[in-house]
A and B are shown apart, each in its own frame.
Chain A
Amino acid sequence: MPDRDRILSKVRSALGRSSGQAVPAAPPPRLVIPSWSLEERIRRFSENFLGETFVAANGDEARDFVASKTEGLAAVASNSSVLRELGVSGLPNVQCGFVDRDELRLACIAAGVGITSASYAIADPGALVVLAGAEEERLISLAPPRHIAVIPADRILSSLDELFTVVPDPALESSSMVLIGGPSRTGDIEMTLTLGVHGPREVYVVIVE
C-alpha cells in the first residue's frame, strides 16, 4: 500500500472515522477588532514596530526622507505603484523595473538599500505585510542591509485579527505573504541581541499621510 493510503487509513482507524465522513464545523476564528482611529493606529505602529518609523506629511517629505537614507548607496526598488507615484523610483541611485530573476538577484546582493511599499501594516503587534506579486517581491525587503518601506497611512490595520478579516486567505492572492516585525535578528550567541543576520539590520517605515 502506498504511504498515502497507509497513513490515511491509520489516521482513520485511530480516530474511528470512515472515508468521507462529515466533519462538524471547526470552532469559529477568534477575531476581535479594536476600533482605533487612524491617528491611534499610526501612534501604535510607531510604538510597536521594532524598526524606525517616520511620519511624512506629504509625498515630497516621504521622497526626501528616502533620498536622505539612500544617499551614496546603490538602491533597488520594487515595482510598487506607491513608489512610482511618489517619485521614489525616479531617485538618481535607485534601480527598479526588474522582471528577470537573475538580474534582480544580483542587484539585491550589490545594493545597500532595498525600497518597497507594503500591502498593509499592522499596528499591534507592529508589522509590515508584504504579498509577492506584480507590485512586490520576496528579496528586495530581505537581501540588502537596509530596508525602507513607504506606505500610505490608510494601509495600517489595527491587528492580526483585522489582517485576517481583510485577507482571510492569503494563498488566494500570492504564493508568499510575509509579516515583517523589524530588522533581522538573533540571540543565538549567549542570548546577545545581534541585528542583520541574513536580512536587513536597519528597517525604516515611512508613513505617508
Chain B
Amino acid sequence: MATVFQQEIHVALSDLKLQRTIQSATARFGEKRREVIAPDVLPEYQELRDHASRLKQHTLDHLDYYLEMLEARVQERGGHVVWCADAEAAVEAVVAIGREHGVKLAVKSKSMVSEEIHLNEALERNNIEPVETDLGEYIMQLARERPYHIVAPALHKTRGDVADLFVDQLGVERTEEPEELTKIARLILREKFLTADMGISGANFLVAESGAVVLVENEGNIRMTTSAPRVHVAVTGIEKLIPRAADLAVFLKLLGRSGSGQPITSYTSFLSGPRREGEINGPDEFYLLLVDNGRTKVLADEEKRETLHCIRCGACSNVCPVYRRIGGHTYPGAYSGPIGAILTPQFAGLGHEPELPFASSLCGACGEVCPVKIDIPRMLLALRRDVKRGEAREKRWFPEKLAFQGWSWVMRHPWVFERAGLMAQVFLPPQGGDAWIRKGPGPLEAWTDTRDFPPRAPRSFRRLWRERSGKAHKEPAA
C-alpha cells in the first residue's frame, strides 16, 4: 500500500505544468550560483567553505558557552531572551508577548522556524492576526499553503496562479504582470507595517559576542518588520550561532551566492536589541526566542551533528534530481529538499518520517554544493541504517536480511552471478516496446511500488564486455 508520501510523489510527477515550473526555476538558481562561485570570480570559494564549516563545528561543539554569551549580551542591551524547549513552548511564548503588549496585528518576515512550530495557526487561535510580508510568503499565506522552497516560497506558482489568488482573496482587478502584482502587495502590506504592534522575524545568524541577530533579504520587508512596530520578536533555533561579527565576512560571502546567486543581497541587517538613546526608529522591546525543538537530540549524535551547520540557502534543493521532480510540498515538515530529508526525521524522530532518507538517488550533488560542507549523502546513508536497525529490532523475522545475505554471496561469486543472470532471463519478459516491469510478483511488489524494473537485455552486460574488450585488443582506437 502506498503511503501518503508516495501518493504525493505521484501527484507531483503527473502535473506537467508543475514539472516545467520547478525544473526551470531550480535550473536558473543553479546557473546563477555557478556563475558567482566560478574560480575566476571567487577563487577562494573552497577555502571559504572550509572556514565556514570549521567555524560552525567549533561553535556547535561549545554551544552552551556561546548560548550563555549571547544571552548575556542581549540582556545587557535591554533585550529579553526566551528559551523554548519545544514548539509548544515557543508559540506560547510569542502569544504571551503579544498579550502583554496588546498586540492585534503582527507582521512577519520569513522564518523557517515559525513554519516548523506552526506559529501562524497559534496566533490566529489567540486572536492575533499574523501577516506574512515577504512577497512569496504572502502569496503562500493567501493560498493557505506552506513554502515550496527554502528561499523561494512560491516557486511553484505561475503569474496566472498569483493573479487568480489576488482576485479571489483581495478583490483586486485581474493582472498577470509581476510588476503590477508586486505593487498591489506593496500597498496592502505598507499599511500593515504601519499599523502592526509586533514584528516577528527569524534569524540567519546569531552573533554570540555582539548579542545580535543577522537577517539577510532582498525585498526590505525584514527591515520594515524589525524597524516599524514597537515590539520585535526574533524566533530562531539554538544552532544559528556564530562567535563574532567578523565571521560574517565568511558566511555572507557564501549565503547570498549559494542561495540566489548574489554576491550580496539587497539588505543585510545586523540588529542588537531595542532602539537606543538618540535613535528615532526601531522597536522599544526586543525578544529573542531560542528554540530547541529536537536540536539538542541532533547535537548529541556526533555522527550527524553537522546537520546543524545548515544556513538554509536552499542550494541542495536546486541541484537535487529528486527535489526537482517531486517538488517541495511532497516533503513532510517545514524543510524540503535534501536538507529536509535529513533534518525532518532527526527533529521529529525516525519513527515519524522513516521514508525520507530513502527519497534520494545518492548522486552526491547536495553535498557538493553545500556551502558549509554538510555531507548530506553520508547523513542519508546513516539515517537509512538507523531506520533499518529500528525495523529489524521490531521484527523477529528477517526476510529482507536473508535476501540481502543471499544477494551479497551471489555478488561475491561471479560464476554464480552469471548463471543466476541466465536463469533470470527465463522469468523476465524480452526487451521491446514498453516492457518495464511495473508490478513484481508476491513480496517483490513492495519493491516495484516505488521503482520500475528493466526488461531483460538481448545480451548480458558481461557478454557484451567480453566481446568488446576482445575486439578492442585487435583494433586499437583510430
Contact = CB atoms under 8 A, between A and B. Distances in A.
Given A26-B58, A175-B273, A199-B267, A181 B83 contact: no
Given A105-B194, A164-B249, A191-B28, A27 B227 contact: no
B344 interface: no
A103 to B, nearest CB: 9
A39 to B, nearest CB: 21
Given A184-B266, A194-B182, 19 more contacts: A17-B64, A29-B244, A101-B280, A101-B281, A138-B223, A160-B253, A160-B264, A164-B245, A174-B279, A175-B275, A176-B282, A181-B268, A187-B260, A189-B135, A190-B21, A191-B24, A191-B152, A197-B135, A199-B223
Interface residues on A, range: 35 or more
A139 interface: yes
Interface stretch (B153-161, B394-402, B404-412): B153-161
A170 B245 contact: yes
B401 to A, nearest CB: 32
B330 to A, nearest CB: 21
B276 interface: yes
B301 to A, nearest CB: 8
11 contacts: A12-B64, A24-B58, A26-B243, A125-B263, A174-B279, A184-B218, A185-B218, A187-B260, A197-B182, A197-B219, A198-B219
Given A11-B238, A11-B299, A31-B249, A176 B159 contact: no
B270 A176 contact: yes
Interface stretch (A61-69, A85-93, A126-134): A126-134
A7 B289 CA distance: 13
A84 interface: no
Given A8-B67, A190-B158, A168 B267 contact: no
Interface in A4-41: 4, 6-8, 10-15, 17, 19, 21, 23-24, 26-27, 29-32
A113 interface: no
A26 B28 CA distance: 37
B282 A3 contact: no
A125 B263 CA distance: 6
A177 B270 contact: yes
A114 interface: no
A178 B223 contact: yes
Nearest to A22: B65
Contacts of A125: 263-264
Interface stretch (B4-12, B48-56, B353-361, B372-380): B48-56
A191 B25 contact: yes
Contact of B267 (A8, A159, A180): A180
Given A168-B244, A198-B220, A180 B266 contact: yes
A190 to B, nearest CB: 5
A209 interface: no
Most buried by A among B51, B77, B266: B266
B274 A138 contact: no
Interface string B237-252: 0100001111111101
Nearest to B286: A175
Contacts of B252: 160
Given A137-B281, A199-B266, A190 B51 contact: no
A138 B220 contact: no
Which 7 interchain pairs have the tightest Cβ spacing?
A199-B220, A14-B300, A171-B272, A29-B246, A171-B210, A188-B136, A125-B264
Interface centre among B181, B220, B260, B275 (most CB of A within 10 A): B220
Interface in B170-220: 178-179, 181-182, 185-186, 189-190, 193-194, 207, 209-212, 218-220
Given A126-B264, A175-B77, A186 B182 contact: yes
A160 B248 contact: yes
Contacts of B212: 170-171
A153 interface: no
B296 interface: yes
B55 A27 contact: yes
B299 A104 contact: no
Interface residues of B, number: 99
B278 A133 contact: yes
A4 B247 CA distance: 26
A54 interface: no
Contacts of A182: 266
Contacts of A179: 264, 267-268, 270
B68 A138 contact: no
B221 interface: yes
Nearest to B153: A188
A182 B262 CA distance: 11
B304 to A, nearest CB: 12
B72 to A, nearest CB: 12
A121 interface: no
Contact of B249 (A15, A133, A161, A184): A161
A192 B58 CA distance: 39
A77 to B, nearest CB: 13
Given A187-B152, A192-B178, A168 B221 contact: no
Interface in A153-169: 159-161, 163-165, 167-169
B339 interface: no
Question: Which residue of B62, B218, B290 has the most chain A CB atoms within 10 A of its CB atom?
Answer: B218
A171 B74 CA distance: 10
Most chain B CB neighbours (cut-off 10 Å) among A12, A15, A105: A15
A183 B223 contact: no
A70 B4 CA distance: 58
Contact of B83 (A2, A105, A126, A142): A2
Given A7-B83, A168-B244, A109 B194 contact: yes
B150 interface: no
Contacts of B48: 30
Contacts of B64: 8, 11-12, 15, 17, 19
A23 to B, nearest CB: 5
Most chain A beta-carbon contacts within 10 A, residue among B253, B271, B290: B271
A98 B280 CA distance: 8
Contacts of A127: 264, 268
A196 interface: yes
